[in-house]
């Protein structure tokens, strides 16, 4: 039996888990694991032809369970997601294994558990990405859910509560998916993709409806789609720093991967589009698109109100997922390319942002936006990384986020969807507002007395951040590089491919060439700098030498404008934050609690989460065995 | 296109924009003076101001980002000018298109926001918060308008948008074809200029001129340059979208100045809104007009 | 002794004719574009709105009001300065970017005017900061203010208005007077001495006994430099 | 379920910051300061900070002759100096028992009312400028200049006229002056519709000013509010009518009131007072030619003038409210004690502090200008 | 003020012990009361006679009698008359009660008198300095504070002596101020 490249990769990944498990307590686990991630990445790069239209690589491992064949293989889609997964895992782990780890240990954290959880996450994600049929997909799905729970819950306290909430959601999602799989099995008689493809074409509308709802709900929960988004922000924000960078970068995208695989590849956008909602003009695709758009808007505007840097970023993570889904369900060549490219772009800048924020926490001990300020003079490199990240997140040139959002906008324009277009732009504007709040409250404004003597983040943390910043800029300058991979993904799932170039996209109805745009932009900066710096030298003054209506400022006065940053805006929209989804969640929870109370005589348990959890576990166990 | 020619265009376009922008600043101040029954500044006043500010002997900086912010504010507009076709010069308009242009026009705001943030002045920060809020307000009708125009033209390429308008003379102008969008665009443009009643982020009596509070010398000079670029870009963009661009420099400049004169004349007759009133206004009328306009287009 | 000092005119050492033309241009523009600081220090400010608005219209001379000291070129001291105001005026003056000009409007700035007996107002403005021009009167009419501003423009054009240089070059003298009035612990956030060094404006009178006194009690106001890496000064004990 | 649900749980709610509003700030009237504590854009705490214009007038006046103080008093309130002169002169007259000739009284009324119009025009300008409407300011200040021209003609001074002296007024009106007054009044009346269209009927301004700085009548009475600010809460009280001085009891005029007590009402009351002042002036212009006689009562040598001992409290309605002088003489050549009670000492300190709390930063300047607070009156 | 009201007011005021009422004009009443009776008087005036507007509180420093005179001017919007209540308190220690609970405007006047005369008002909401926040000298309005001496010590006076004036003086013209009248000489410099 010869090992295929995929086997090699999975093997390395498994070895990483084992190394973290058995050697992690004694030896410097961080460095070892990081190197092993590097090896995994190398072995993934050996599969690079996949990213340029190569044939799928199967695994030699095939299992037979209950008459079902379980198989694993890698195609362009899997490779693309695996690249992002391993890249972010490598950089997050690298980031973690220096000074951050020591500090984490001093603070009472369990470094071993952290690395183990990371390794488990990577391993399970690879398993999921490699799945060759629906059953292996489901197994991978469960593994990912539990591995994620481990990472989220490890910080204890608030984190555990958030993780419990997550796993509850995940179990509900799993049940939905399981239901979907069961339904598919009933109609197709098999869980192999080929069989399903043929079965889908013969399915009736109600049947298809059922499946679409079940799958998109199940996968959507992982992705944080509205209205199942509530778990995500607290869970990611409470994960230890590099872990949140990793999770924020890729974890939710597993949901997108599954949606891509099942809804786009197996069911086909055309089939979904044929599902009309009675008495309205919209169909299931529009429904998904609107869900995507609301997923963009609401979490983004919720992020604007956050006062904790990590919560703010985590909420944005949910919002950005909306762009990906939006691009995918528009599903023309540019839209799908934009959505898929955004997965890559989002992973890069989200990881960079979480890392920069973690660097700030590492130095100052807080991520409270109202307790920071003016750090740019102390942590200029972290500032640069955060700046690059937020430009990417906001989708402004010259960073990579612009390209993917541009593609999504163009597809909406081409397809003639004005409302979706406007809604997407509202999301972008909201993003700009909230990321400015982020960078302003951390790095700009008044430097507080207690931060007078802090230093720049250590190099072990700085280098991964700088690498990410470089990737963000380079893929912004040359979007053709990731677009090539995206194109092969599109081919693999049966979507049309845009006419991409190294610098962007060519199209009859308006093209984009980032090389020119960025070139001109930097030329403009150059001329601006020439004009500016030719005008005589300037002198830096102390921050207390500042206009204060003619008064003298002293260091003990807090004059940083940070809390309720967009007060004027909140006068209008503040009343719209009603927490309806929270209310919905609470009412469902109390309903379950009420039911469990009713059954107290039997189970003697009133904890809804535990109840749901155990039920779900039981169901899964019953199914799998 | 020959590379040399292109390079000459890329140099000339911002230069022309700057000079025309200075004249627009002058026009704005002269219109204000006329409405206020006074004489107004001399012809070269905008230039005097900028040269003087750049020639200041001591310049107060609050740090690197303060400097970079101003460079970004100027550079972003310089870059944006090359994406904005003028008669006889297209620059790289075909390589970016209108969406890119709109995004490039946000770069100066972002640069300014960063620079002001570093100044550590609460007035400036409030000003930036208000400026970004105003951006949220006027960009929504603006993108509706842009969507409508681009959809009607079937392209995001500004050169083609202008060409389609010029194809049939006056009747094919965007303003004639899509009057509702043109009105919505005018309101959005007025708001994007930040003049009364939409002047929420300058507001001297409230936040001591907001973002400009710590800007002096070349920093303020940079903002003056940015202002002239802003006036030029906004009015030329409007002319390109709705008034068929320009076939000759004469009608191009005539249209641009006339378009700019409308909001500027209105501005000095109004006080400023509160932030939420601005939002309410911008999200109500122009958005409604724009959406109806799009419905007609589609 | 007369306290109206002769301000030494420093010759510009530019020999390059192009640079001289450029200097000339900048001086011309400085004279044609004057930003007033919007700070009503006293009652003379009531005649500024008429000078600014439709009847006399300062803007036709290129003069316009500005809000913060950073933006302004001219500090108009409109009348008596109470000691509490004088502190703010000095702070404001130091925050303005050079070249900056001080105009003392009203007689009170010359010698205390009709408040010569008042315990609360400073009498001679030019002890505390260099004054480029006085416009006497109580209060001077808008025409007088504009006339004065035009004279200032003339002096800027010929390069005579150099009060701001005098503040750097004779800082010790001004600081001494300020310390006499406000007490020895007087300190503004602007570090005039380092600025003078930075812009090559150090004169013989910049440093002296008063600046030595200032350095003794000065709170450490080191500029927040942008630093890379780990070379951070350890916190002072 | 309110938005708090979305707030991160660990954040303390109080994240206030400090903002100094003035003295070098265009939103503040004159040289005055407010130290604000803000949360977002809401004012949590406001502290007035005065004394920037303190000259120690009361001390100065104790050191100068009775007649010298005439030159000092108008400087206590720069935008509206005439009531200060009058109030002081009335006090000295009452201490000495001087009878002021009738012609002088009518001329004084004319001076006061011209000064009131000028002050109101100035206030409109300032109020409009705080809301970003500079055209009104440019117009208002320029039209005020016409009144200053009149002042210059009959008193010799544009701003500080120093025209009232104990016993009467300093000099007779120039030839044809009344004609020019009524021409100026005609012009002003013709301009009022312009102001209405530009400013008072401007919907944006109305929207800005309504509901800003509201006080009820009870609050106004408890806080010691006087003048147009009190009338804007619905109480028709005017010292000119209810505690008459000069010849105001022979003149016909109304006391305009508004009910809502906000910045809008205060501005509107001033706008209506403008009409009443013009009406009074027209009566004066009509009556003055027929009233002949001396313009001042004979007074002793002012350089050696020992005013009889006693104390007196005089009140005058200035454009800002109730202006009072408490003058004590011990029979010497100089006042023993002069206490100046400017209306703004209430408006600019306590009332402004109380109104600011809970309001928004964009309304602070408007509140101050609509109260027409005059810092030199506070600081003295 | 009609005679009836005046009569009624007189009757009312007689309830206070040691009161001396002097009617100065139809709308001005001067009342002298002992210092400890003032709160009762003001309460009476405010509560029963409608004198709800505290126009001012004035302070007079009678240094020769070692007393401060405090004058409370209250105005009635109903009877249109003003009552000035005079009290005398000892100059040392200069402490008196606040009437803030009766009249809110008193807060400003009491604060003002506190910084200008150094009288402490017990129960006043804010006795911090307001105008003289950056003043370290004695309360300046007290009669013993000599502002000229203070100025001579702290501030310098413009010695205006231009050449043309010197020439005039040399020719025997100009205004020559004899040395004993030169109050602000430059002798200190």
Q: Is the pLDDT of residue A127 over 80?
A: yes
Q: What is the mean pLDDT of chain A?
A: 82
Beta carbons of E140 and D59 less than 8 Å apart? yes
Q: Say what percent of chain A tops pLDDT 70.
A: 95
**Spatial distance between the Cα atoms of A36 and A90, rounded to a whole number of angstroms:** 9
Q: pLDDT value at position C168? A: 87
Question: Which residue among B32, B37, B204 sits closest to D142, beta carbon to beta carbon?
Answer: B37
- Burial label for A609, CB within 10 Å (0-12, 13-18, 19+), is middle
Q: Identify whether A417 is part of a domain.
A: yes
Tens of pLDDT along D40-93? Answer: 888 888 888 888 888 888 888 888 888 888 888 888 888 888 888 888 998 988
Q: pLDDT value at position A551? A: 83
Beta carbons of B76 and A426 less than 8 Å apart? no
Residue B289 — left, alpha, or beta (φ > 0 → left; ψ -120 to 50 → alpha)?
Answer: alpha
Strands D17-21 and C133-135, sheet pairing: unpaired
Cβ–Cβ contact D54 with E under 8 A:
yes
For the sheet containing E81-90, what is the strand order? E20-25, E28-32, E81-90, E67-76, E53-62
Beta carbons of E148 and C122 less than 8 Å apart? no
Question: Which residue among C37, C42, C118 sits closest to D60, beta carbon to beta carbon?
Answer: C118
Cβ–Cβ contact B198 with D under 8 A:
no
Name beta bridge partners: D314. Answer: D325
Q: Which of C20, C29, C98, C35 has the alpha carbon at shortest distance from B52?
A: C29
- The CA-atom distances, in angstroms, between C237 and each of B196, C233, C234 are 53, 11, 9
Give residue A622's pLDDT band: very low, low, confident or very high (50, 70, 90): low
Question: Which residue among A418, A444, A571 sits closest to B114, beta carbon to beta carbon?
Answer: A444
Give residue E188's pLDDT band: very low, low, confident or very high (50, 70, 90): very low
Give residue A258's pLDDT band: very low, low, confident or very high (50, 70, 90): confident
Q: What is the CATH number of domain C17-161?
A: 3.40.50.12280
Beta carbons of D159 and C37 less than 8 Å apart? no
D206: Cβ–Cβ under 8 A, 6 or more apart, which residues? D264
Question: Which residue among B74, B122, B151 sits closest to A560, beta carbon to beta carbon?
Answer: B122
Question: Which residue among B208, B272, B275 sits closest to D131, beta carbon to beta carbon?
Answer: B272
For A490, the domain range is: 281-506
Cβ–Cβ contact C120 with E under 8 A:
yes
Q: How many domains is chain A partitioned into structurally?
A: 2
For the sheet containing C34-37, what is the strand order? C63-66, C34-37, C74-78, C101-105, C133-135
Q: Look-up: residue for tokens 């006194």?
A: C213
Residues E28 and E119 in one domain: yes
D186: Cβ–Cβ under 8 A, 6 or more apart, which residues? none
Q: Is the pLDDT of residue B3 over 70?
A: yes
Name beta bridge partners: E23. Answer: E29
Q: Are A546 and B120 in contact (CB under 8 A)?
A: yes
Q: Is the pLDDT of residue A508 over 80?
A: no
With CA atoms as reference, the chain C residue closest to B220 would be C71
Question: Which residue among A421, A525, A545 sits closest to B75, beta carbon to beta carbon?
Answer: A525
**Spatial distance between the Cα atoms of A384 and A469, rounded to a whole number of angstroms:** 8
Beta carbons of B275 and A571 less than 8 Å apart? yes
- Residues recorded for chain D: 380
Query: Is omega for the bond preceding A227 within 30 degrees of 0, making it cis?
Result: yes
- Residues recorded for chain B: 298
Q: Is the pLDDT of residue E189 over 50?
A: no
Residues A355 and A470 in one domain: yes
Q: Are B173 and B102 in contact (CB under 8 A)?
A: no
Q: pLDDT value at position D8? A: 32
Q: Which of B9, B116, B112, B10 has the alpha carbon at shortest distance from B63?
A: B116
Chains meeting A at 3+ CB pairs closer than 8 A? B, C, D
- Number of other CB atoms surrounding residue B187 within 10 Å: 22
Beta carbons of B209 and C26 less than 8 Å apart? no
Residues E160 and E83 in one domain: no
Tens of pLDDT along A570-621? Answer: 888 877 777 777 777 777 778 877 777 666 655 554 566 666 777 777 777 6
The 3-state DSSP class for residue C163 equals helix
**Spatial distance between the Cα atoms of A379 and A363, rounded to a whole number of angstroms:** 9
Q: How many domains is chain E partitioned into structurally?
A: 2
3-state SS, one letter per residue, for chain B? CCHHHHHHHHHHHHHHHHHHHHHHHHHHHHHHHHHCCCCCCCCCHHHHHHHHHHCCCCEEECCHHHHHHHHHHHHHHHHHHHCCCECCECCCHHHHHHHHHHHHCHHHHHHHHHHHHHCCCHHHHHHHHHHHHHHHHHHHHHHHHHHHHHHHHCCCCHHHHHHHHHHCHHHHCHHHHCHHHHHHHHHHHHHHHCCCCCCCCCCHHHHCCHHHHHCCCHHHHHHHHHHHHHHHHHHHHHHHHHCCCCCCHHHHHHHHHHHHHHHHHHHCCCCCCCHHHHHHHHHHHHHHHHHHHHHHHC
Beta carbons of D51 and E131 less than 8 Å apart? yes
Instruction: Produce one character per residue of A437-463: b if its CB has 16 or more CB atoms within 10 Å, e if not.
Output: bbbbbbbbbbbbeebeebebbbebbbe
CATH number for position E31:
3.30.460.80
Beta carbons of D10 and A308 less than 8 Å apart? yes
Q: pLDDT value at position B232? A: 92
Beta carbons of C198 and A550 less than 8 Å apart? no
**Spatial distance between the Cα atoms of C137 and C12, rounded to a whole number of angstroms:** 35
- With a cut of 70, which residues of chain D have pLDDT below it? 1-14
Domain boundary among A458, A487, A506: A506
**Spatial distance between the Cα atoms of B109 and B132, rounded to a whole number of angstroms:** 8
- Burial label for A613, CB within 10 Å (0-12, 13-18, 19+), is middle
Distance from CA of D292 to the nearest CA of C (A): 33
Q: pLDDT value at position A602? A: 56
Q: Which of A53, A52, A129, A116 has the alpha carbon at shortest distance from A86?
A: A129
Q: How many domains is chain D partitioned into structurally?
A: 1
Residues A477 and A343 in one domain: yes
Tens of pLDDT along B46-58? Answer: 989 888 888 888 8
Q: Which of D223, D217, D90, D328 has the alpha carbon at shortest distance from E109?
A: D223
Q: Are A218 and A174 in contact (CB under 8 A)?
A: yes
Distance from CA of A470 to the nearest CA of C (A): 18
Give residue E179's pLDDT band: very low, low, confident or very high (50, 70, 90): low
Report pTM: 0.87
**Touch between A and E (at least 3 CB pairs under 8 Å):** no
**Touch between C and B (at least 3 CB pairs under 8 Å):** yes
Residues A502 and A585 in one domain: no
CA end-to-end distance (rounded Å), chain B: 35
Mutate to test the interface with D, among B194, B201, B205 (most CBs of D within 10 A): B205
- Tell me the residue ranges of DSSP E strands in A279-383: none
Q: pLDDT value at position C233? A: 43
Q: Which of A424, A434, A168, A441 has the alpha carbon at shortest distance from A293?
A: A424
Per-window interface: D 315-374 vs B, CB < 8 A = 360-362, 364-365
Domain boundary among A490, A506, A522: A506
Q: Identify whether E158 is part of a domain.
A: yes
Q: How many CB pairs under 8 A join C and D?
A: 93
Cβ–Cβ contact B280 with D under 8 A:
no
The 3-state DSSP class for residue D12 equals coil
Residues E154 and E66 in one domain: no
D59: Cβ–Cβ under 8 A, 6 or more apart, which residues? C117, C118, C119, E140, E141, E145, E147
Cβ–Cβ contact C110 with E under 8 A:
yes
Q: Look-up: residue for tokens 């607290």?
A: A234
Q: pLDDT value at position A609? A: 67
With CA atoms as reference, the chain D residue closest to A234 would be D8
Beta carbons of B222 and A528 less than 8 Å apart? yes
Beta carbons of C67 and D139 less than 8 Å apart? no
Query: DSSP state, A59?
Result: E
Chain E residue numbers touching D313 (CB-CB < 8 A) = 28, 55-56, 71, 73, 82, 84
Question: Which residue among C40, C47, C53 sits closest to D30, beta carbon to beta carbon?
Answer: C40
Q: What is the mean pLDDT of chain E?
A: 79
Beta carbons of C62 and B63 less than 8 Å apart? no
Q: Identify whether D33 is part of a domain.
A: no
Cβ–Cβ contact E1 with D under 8 A:
no
Name beta bridge partners: A500. Answer: A505
**Spatial distance between the Cα atoms of E67 and E90, rounded to a whole number of angstroms:** 5
With CA atoms as reference, the chain C residue closest to E187 would be C1
Beta carbons of D125 and C115 less than 8 Å apart? no
Query: Is omega for the bond preceding D23 within 30 degrees of 0, making it cis?
Result: yes
Cβ–Cβ contact E149 with C under 8 A:
no
Residue A140 — left, alpha, or beta (φ > 0 → left; ψ -120 to 50 → alpha)?
Answer: alpha
Q: Is the pLDDT of residue A516 over 80?
A: yes
**Touch between E and C (at least 3 CB pairs under 8 Å):** yes
Q: Is the pLDDT of residue E186 over 50?
A: no
Q: Are A464 and A94 in contact (CB under 8 A)?
A: yes
**Spatial distance between the Cα atoms of E177 and C154, rounded to a whole number of angstroms:** 37
Q: Is the pLDDT of residue A318 over 50?
A: yes
**Spatial distance between the Cα atoms of A565 and B129, rounded to a whole number of angstroms:** 7
CATH number for position D353:
1.10.645.10
Chain A residue numbers touching D19 (CB-CB < 8 A) = 548-549, 559
- Tell me the residue ranges of DSSP E strands in C28-137: 34-37, 63-66, 74-78, 81-82, 101-105, 121-122, 133-135
3-state SS, one letter per residue, for chain E? CCHHHHHHHHHHHCCCCCCEEEEEECCEEEEECCHHHHHHHHHHHHHHHCCCEEEEEEEEEECCCCEEEEEEEEEECCCCEEEEEEEEEECCCCEEECCCCCCCCHHHHHHHHHHHHCCEEECCCCCCCCCCCCCCCCCCCCCCCCHHHHHHHHCCCCCCCCHHHHHHHHCCCCCCCCHHHCCCCCCCC
- Tell me the residue ranges of DSSP E strands in chain C: 34-37, 63-66, 74-78, 81-82, 101-105, 121-122, 133-135
Q: Are B218 and A535 in contact (CB under 8 A)?
A: yes
Beta carbons of D145 and C50 less than 8 Å apart? yes
Tens of pLDDT along C92-116? Answer: 898 888 888 998 888 888 877 788 7
Question: Which residue among E132, E134, E158 sits closest to C124, beta carbon to beta carbon?
Answer: E158
When mean pLDDT is compared across B181-190, C19-28, E50-59, the lowest value belongs to C19-28
Q: Look-up: residue for tokens 């460095």?
A: A31
Q: Identify whether D338 is part of a domain.
A: yes
Domain boundary among E96, E129, E162: E129
Q: Look-up: residue for tokens 């060409």?
A: B163
Which helix (H) or strand (E) segment holds residue C183: the answer is none
Question: Which residue among C3, C110, C119 sits closest to E151, beta carbon to beta carbon?
Answer: C119
Q: Identify whether D10 is part of a domain.
A: no
Q: pLDDT value at position D24? A: 85
Q: Identify whether A480 is part of a domain.
A: yes
Tens of pLDDT along A417-449? Answer: 888 888 888 888 899 988 898 899 888 888 877
Q: pLDDT value at position B26? A: 92
Beta carbons of A543 and C224 less than 8 Å apart? yes
**What sections of A444-579 are H helices per DSSP?**
459-477, 480-493, 514-533, 567-573
Q: Look-up: residue for tokens 């909430």?
A: A165
Question: Which residue among B100, B147, B155 sits closest to A421, beta carbon to beta carbon?
Answer: B147
Mutate to test the interface with A, among B59, B73, B128, B132 (most CBs of A within 10 A): B132
For E174, the domain range is: 146-189
Beta carbons of A535 and B221 less than 8 Å apart? yes
Beta carbons of A377 and C198 less than 8 Å apart? no
Q: Which of C91, C90, C89, C1 has the alpha carbon at shortest distance from C39?
A: C89
Q: pLDDT value at position A470? A: 92
Q: What is the mean pLDDT of chain C?
A: 79
Q: pLDDT value at position C234? A: 43
Chain A residue numbers touching C39 (CB-CB < 8 A) = 550
Beta carbons of B117 and A439 less than 8 Å apart? yes
Residues A446 and A592 in one domain: no
**What sections of D288-360 are H helices per DSSP?**
344, 352-356
Q: Which of B39, B263, B38, C35 has the alpha carbon at shortest distance from D139?
A: B38
Mutate to test the interface with A, among B57, B65, B192 (most CBs of A within 10 A): B65
Tens of pLDDT along A265-306? Answer: 777 777 777 777 766 667 777 888 888 888 888 888 888 888
Q: Say what percent of chain B tops pLDDT 70.
A: 100
Chain A residue numbers touching D38 (CB-CB < 8 A) = 561
Q: Is the pLDDT of residue E5 over 60?
A: yes
Q: What is the mean pLDDT of chain B?
A: 86
For D65, the domain range is: 56-379
Tell me phi and psi for residue A131, to 5 degrees: -60, 140
Q: Are D373 and D29 in contact (CB under 8 A)?
A: yes
Q: Which of D243, D342, D317, D273 has the alpha carbon at shortest distance from E78?
A: D243
Tens of pLDDT along B120-155? Answer: 888 888 889 888 898 888 989 988 888 888 888 888
Q: Identify whether E140 is part of a domain.
A: no
Q: Identify whether A390 is part of a domain.
A: yes
Q: Say what percent of chain B tops pLDDT 90.
A: 5
């Amino acid at each position: 039996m010869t090992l295929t490249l995929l086997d090699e990769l999975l093997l390395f990944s498994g070895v990483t888990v084992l190394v973290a498990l058995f050697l992690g307590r004694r030896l410097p686990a961080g460095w070892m694991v990081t190197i092993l991630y590097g090896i995994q990445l190398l072995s993934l790069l050996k599969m690079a032809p996949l990213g340029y239209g190569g044939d799928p690589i199967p695994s030699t491992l095939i299992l037979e369970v209950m008459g079902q064949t379980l198989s694993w293989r890698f195609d362009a889609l899997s490779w693309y997601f695996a690249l992002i997964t391993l890249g972010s895992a490598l950089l997050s782990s690298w980031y973690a294994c220096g000074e951050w780890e020591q500090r984490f240990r001093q603070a009472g954290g369990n470094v071993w558990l952290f690395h183990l959880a990371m390794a488990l996450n990577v391993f399970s994600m690879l398993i999921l990405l490699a799945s060759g049929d629906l059953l292996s997909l489901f197994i991978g799905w469960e593994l990912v859910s539990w591995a994620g729970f481990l990472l989220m819950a490890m910080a204890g306290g608030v984190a555990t509560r958030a993780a419990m909430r997550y796993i509850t959601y995940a179990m509900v999602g799993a049940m939905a998916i399981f239901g979907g799989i069961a339904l598919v099995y009933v109609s197709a008689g098999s869980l192999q993709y080929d069989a399903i493809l043929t079965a889908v074409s013969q399915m009736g509308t109600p049947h298809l409806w059922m499946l679409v709802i079940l799958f998109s709900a199940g996968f959507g929960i992982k992705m944080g789609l509205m209205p199942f988004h509530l778990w995500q922000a607290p869970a990611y924000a409470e994960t230890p720093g590099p872990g949140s960078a990793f999770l924020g970068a890729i974890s939710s995208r597993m949901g997108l991967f599954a949606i891509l695989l099942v809804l786009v590849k197996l069911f086909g956008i055309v089939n979904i589009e044929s599902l009309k909602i009675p008495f309205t003009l919209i169909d299931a695709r529009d429904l998904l698109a609107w869900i995507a758009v609301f997923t963009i808007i609401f979490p983004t505007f919720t992020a604007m109100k956050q006062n904790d840097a990590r919560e703010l970023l985590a909420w944005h993570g949910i919002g950005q997922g909306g762009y990906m889904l939006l691009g995918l369900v528009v599903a023309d060549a540019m839209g799908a390319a934009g959505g898929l490219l955004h997965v890559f772009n989002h992973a890069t800048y989200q990881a960079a942002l979480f890392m920069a924020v973690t660097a700030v926490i590492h130095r100052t001990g807080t991520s409270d936006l109202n307790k920071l300020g003016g750090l740019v003079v102390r942590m200029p490199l972290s500032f640069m990384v955060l700046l690059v990240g937020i430009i990417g997140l906001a989708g402004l040139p010259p960073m990579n986020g612009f390209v993917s959002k541009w593609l999504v906008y163009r597809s909406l324009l081409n397809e003639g969807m004005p409302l979706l277009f406007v809604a997407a732009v509202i999301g972008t504007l909201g993003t700009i507002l909230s990321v400015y709040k982020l960078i302003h409250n951390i790095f700009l404004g008044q430097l507080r007395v207690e931060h007078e003597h802090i230093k720049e983040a250590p190099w072990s943390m700085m280098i991964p951040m700088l690498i990410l910043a470089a990737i963000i800029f380079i893929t912004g300058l040359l979007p053709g590089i990731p677009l090539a991979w995206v194109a092969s993904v599109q081919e693999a799932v049966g979507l049309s491919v845009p006419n991409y170039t190294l610098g962007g996209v060519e199209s009859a109805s308006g093209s984009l060439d980032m090389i020119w745009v960025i070139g001109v932009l930097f030329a403009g900066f150059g001329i601006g700098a020439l004009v500016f710096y030719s005008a005589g030298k300037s002198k830096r003054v102390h921050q207390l030498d500042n206009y204060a209506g003619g008064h003298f400022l002293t260091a003990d006065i807090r004059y940083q404008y940070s809390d309720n940053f967009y007060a004027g805006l909140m006068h209008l929209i503040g009343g719209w934050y009603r927490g309806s989804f929270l209310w919905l969640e609470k009412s469902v929870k109390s309903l379950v609690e009420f039911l469990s109370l009713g059954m107290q005589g039997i189970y003697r348990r009133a904890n809804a989460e535990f109840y749901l959890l155990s039920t779900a576990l039981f169901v899964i166990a019953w199914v799998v065995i | 296109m020959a590379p040399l020619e292109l390079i000459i265009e890329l140099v000339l376009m911002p230069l022309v924009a700057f000079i025309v922008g200075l004249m627009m600043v002058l026009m704005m101040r002269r219109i204000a003076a006329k409405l206020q029954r006074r004489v107004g500044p001399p012809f070269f006043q905008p230039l005097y101001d900028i040269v003087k500010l750049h020639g200041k002997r001591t310049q107060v900086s609050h740090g690197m980002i303060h400097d970079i912010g101003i460079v970004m504010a100027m550079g972003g507009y310089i870059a944006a000018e090359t994406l904005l076709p003028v008669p006889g010069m297209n620059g790289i308009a075909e390589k970016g298109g209108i969406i890119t242009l709109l995004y490039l026009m946000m770069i100066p705001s972002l640069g300014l926001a960063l620079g002001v943030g570093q100044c550590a002045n609460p007035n400036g920060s409030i000003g930036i918060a208000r400026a970004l809020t105003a951006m949220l307000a006027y960009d929504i009708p603006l993108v509706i308008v842009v969507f409508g125009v681009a959809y009607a033209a079937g392209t995001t390429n500004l050169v083609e948008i202008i060409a389609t308008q010029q194809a049939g003379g006056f009747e094919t102008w965007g303003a004639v074809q899509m009057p509702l969008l043109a009105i919505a665009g005018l309101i959005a443009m007025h708001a994007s200029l930040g003049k009364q009643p939409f002047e929420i982020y300058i507001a001297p009596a409230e936040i001591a001129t907001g973002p400009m509070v710590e800007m002096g010398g070349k920093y303020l000079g940079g903002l003056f340059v940015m202002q002239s670029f802003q006036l030029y870009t906004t009015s030329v963009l409007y002319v390109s979208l709705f008034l068929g661009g320009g076939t000759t420099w004469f009608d191009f400049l005539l249209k641009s100045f006339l378009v700019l004169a409308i909001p500027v004349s209105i501005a000095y007759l109004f006080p400023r809104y509160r932030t939420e009133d601005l939002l309410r206004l911008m999200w109500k009328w122009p958005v409604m007009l724009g959406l109806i306009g799009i419905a007609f287009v589609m | 002794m007369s306290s109206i000092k002769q301000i030494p005119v420093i010759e510009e050492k530019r020999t390059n004719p192009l640079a001289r033309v450029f200097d000339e241009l900048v001086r011309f523009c400085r004279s044609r574009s004057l930003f007033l600081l919007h700070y009503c220090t006293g009652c003379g400010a009531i005649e500024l709105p008429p000078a600014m608005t439709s009847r006399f219209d300062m803007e036709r001379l290129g003069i316009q009001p500005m809000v913060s000291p950073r933006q302004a070129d001219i500090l108009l001291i409109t009348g008596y300065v109470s000691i509490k105001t004088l502190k703010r005026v000095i702070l404001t003056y130091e925050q303005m970017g050079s070249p900056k000009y001080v105009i003392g409007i009203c007689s009170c700035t010359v010698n205390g005017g009709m408040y010569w007996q008042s315990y609360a107002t400073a009498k001679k403005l030019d002890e505390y900061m260099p004054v480029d021009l006085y416009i006497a009167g109580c209060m001077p009419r808008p025409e007088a203010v504009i006339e004065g501003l035009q004279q200032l423009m003339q002096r800027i054009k010929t390069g005579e208005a150099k009060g701001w240089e005098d503040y750097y070059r004779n800082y010790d003298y001004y600081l001494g007077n300020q310390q006499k009035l406000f007490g020895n612990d007087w300190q503004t956030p602007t570090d005039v001495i380092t600025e003078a060094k930075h812009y090559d404006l150090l004169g013989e009178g910049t440093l002296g006994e008063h600046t030595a006194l200032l350095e003794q009690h000065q709170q450490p106001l080191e500029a927040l430099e942008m630093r890379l890496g780990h070379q951070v000064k350890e916190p002072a004990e | 379920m309110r938005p708090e649900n979305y707030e991160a749980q660990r954040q303390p709610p109080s994240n206030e910051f400090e903002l100094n509003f003035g003295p070098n700030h265009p939103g503040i009237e004159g040289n005055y300061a407010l130290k604000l504590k803000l949360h977002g854009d809401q004012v949590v705490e406001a502290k007035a900070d005065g004394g920037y214009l303190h000259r120690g007038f009361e001390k100065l006046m104790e050191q100068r002759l009775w007649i010298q103080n005439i030159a000092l008093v108008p400087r206590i309130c720069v935008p509206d100096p005439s009531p200060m002169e009058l109030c002081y002169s009335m006090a000295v007259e009452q201490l000495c028992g001087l009878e002021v000739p009738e012609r002088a009284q009518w001329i004084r009324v004319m001076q006061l009312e011209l000064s009131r119009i000028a002050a109101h025009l100035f206030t409109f300008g300032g109020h409009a400028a705080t809301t970003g409407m500079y055209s009104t300011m440019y117009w208002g200040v320029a039209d005020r200049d016409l009144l200053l021209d009149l002042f210059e003609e009959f008193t010799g001074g544009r701003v500080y006229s120093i025209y009232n002296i104990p016993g009467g007024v300093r000099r007779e009106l120039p030839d044809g002056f009344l004609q020019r007054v009524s021409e100026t009044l005609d012009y002003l009346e013709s301009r009022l519709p312009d102001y209405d269209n530009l400013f008072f009927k401007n919907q944006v301004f109305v929207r800005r000013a309504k509901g800003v700085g509201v006080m009820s009548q009870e609050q106004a009475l408890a806080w010691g509010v006087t003048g147009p600010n009190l009338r804007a809460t619905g109480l028709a009280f005017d010292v000119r009518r209810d505690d008459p001085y000069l010849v105001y009891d022979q003149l016909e005029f109304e006391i305009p009131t508004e009910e809502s007590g906000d910045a809008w009402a205060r501005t509107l009351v001033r706008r209506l007072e403008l009409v009443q002042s013009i009406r009074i002036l027209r009566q004066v212009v009509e009556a003055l030619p027929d009233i002949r006689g001396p313009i001042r009562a004979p007074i002793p040598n002012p350089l050696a003038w020992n005013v009889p001992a006693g104390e007196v409290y005089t009140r005058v309605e200035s454009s800002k409210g109730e202006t009072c002088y408490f003058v004590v003489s011990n029979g010497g050549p100089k006042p023993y004690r002069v206490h100046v009670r400017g209306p703004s000492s209430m408006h600019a300190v306590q009332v402004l502090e109380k109104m600011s709390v809970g309001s928004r930063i964009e309304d602070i300047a408007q509140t101050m200008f609509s109260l027409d607070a005059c810092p030199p009156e506070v600081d003295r | 003020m009609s005679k009836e009201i005046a009569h009624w007011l007189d009757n009312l005021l007689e309830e206070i012990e040691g009161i001396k009422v002097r009617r100065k004009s139809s709308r001005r009443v001067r009342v002298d009361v002992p210092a400890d009776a003032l709160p009762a008087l003001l309460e009476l005036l405010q509560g029963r006679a409608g004198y709800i507007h505290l126009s001012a509180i004035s302070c007079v420093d009678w240094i020769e009698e070692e007393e401060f005179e405090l004058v409370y001017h209250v105005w009635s919007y109903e009877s249109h008359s003003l009552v000035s209540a005079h009290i005398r308190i000892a100059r040392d220690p200069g402490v008196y009660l606040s009437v803030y609970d009766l009249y809110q405007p008193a807060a400003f006047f009491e604060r003002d008198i506190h910084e200008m005369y150094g009288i402490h008002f017990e129960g006043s909401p804010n006795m911090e300095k307001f105008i003289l926040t950056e003043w370290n000298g004695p309360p300046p309005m007290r009669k013993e504070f000599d502002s000229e001496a203070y100025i001579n010590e702290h501030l310098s006076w413009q010695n205006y002596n231009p050449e043309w004036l010197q020439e005039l003086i040399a020719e025997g013209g100009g205004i020559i101020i004899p040395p004993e009248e030169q109050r602000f000489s430059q002798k200190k410099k």
